[in-house]
Amino acid sequence: MTVIILAVCPPGLRGHLTRWLLEVAPGVYVGRVTARVREHLWQRIGRHLGGDGRAIMVYAARNEQGLDLRMTGGPWEPVDLDGVKLIRRSLT
């Protein structure tokens, strides 16, 4: 299962995501895609997200928590502490 949350993004990016994922709420996309498609979607999000845009992707992974996440834009960043993913807010 993959969940992508977007804020302040171009309409073309939202339209592209609806080809692969179901939009369950404005800016929230959910679906089951392969790792290859997930990487393609994340690269496309990185290329087309504006300067003020933010994106979070959470997906199933084989680790202790059972999930992994990626974030771009905004003050939050994922941190790996001994195999456990946490989210830290940068002070800058």
What is the band of 2 on the pLDDT scale with cuts at 50, 70, 90? very high
**2-89, what's its fold?**
Alpha-Beta Plaits (3.30.70)
pLDDT tens, 27-85? 999 999 999 999 999 999 999 987 788 999 999 999 889 999 999 988 888 898 888 88
The alpha-carbon radius of gyration of the chain (Å, integer) is 13
pLDDT at 36: 96
Q: Is the dihedral of CA 11, 15, 16, 18 positive or negative?
A: positive
Pairwise CA distance, residues 82 & 66, whole Å: 15
Q: Looking at the predicted structure, is the pLDDT value of residue 1 above 90?
A: yes
